[in-house]
Amino acid sequence: MDFDKTTITWQRVLDTCDRHLRGVTIGKGPKETIQPRGTVKGETPRVQHSREAGFDITVASEIMAVLALATDLSDLRSKLGNMVVGYSKAGEPITADDLGCGGALTVLMKDALLPTLMQTVERTPGKSAFVLFELLLNA
């Protein structure tokens, strides 16, 4: 797989909205280097492994949108596996299933399909509610 790291479509996510983190450069530390493919360790110097990236708020991520739209566990698995995570240098889309992580994503998110019982701050029993899912779209 000839992954073009400049085309990664998934951002990192936080539960905090900080507009200054929408565009960051990662991998600039002195120990964040890689051995280029096809080179001999020790003979070829390591190169810096940095790239432009950014952060989204968690509830605005594509994974949360898929979770909100999934009808059952198998639908969730299919949708997560088909998510495009980037492109090859030839311009072909690379999906989560191409990377072999669609099933792992499903295992991590399977319990999120279940409803959550919430109550008011005053703990009033008559004011409890089942929350199935709320999707926040933050452009």
Chunked into runs of 10 residues, the chain (139 residues) has average pLDDT values of 84 77 84 86 85 78 85 93 94 95 92 73 63 49
Helix axis angle for 62-69 and 102-109, nearest 10°, is 70
* Residue bearing tokens 């929408």: 22
User: What is d(CA 83, CA 70) in angstroms, rounded to the nearest whole number?
Assistant: 13
pTM over 0.75: no
Beta bridge partners of 117: 130
- Do the Cβ atoms of 34 and 78 come closer than 8 Å? no
User: What is d(CA 100, CA 61) in angstroms, rounded to the nearest whole number?
Assistant: 20
What pLDDT, on the 0 to 100 scale, is given for residue 90? 94
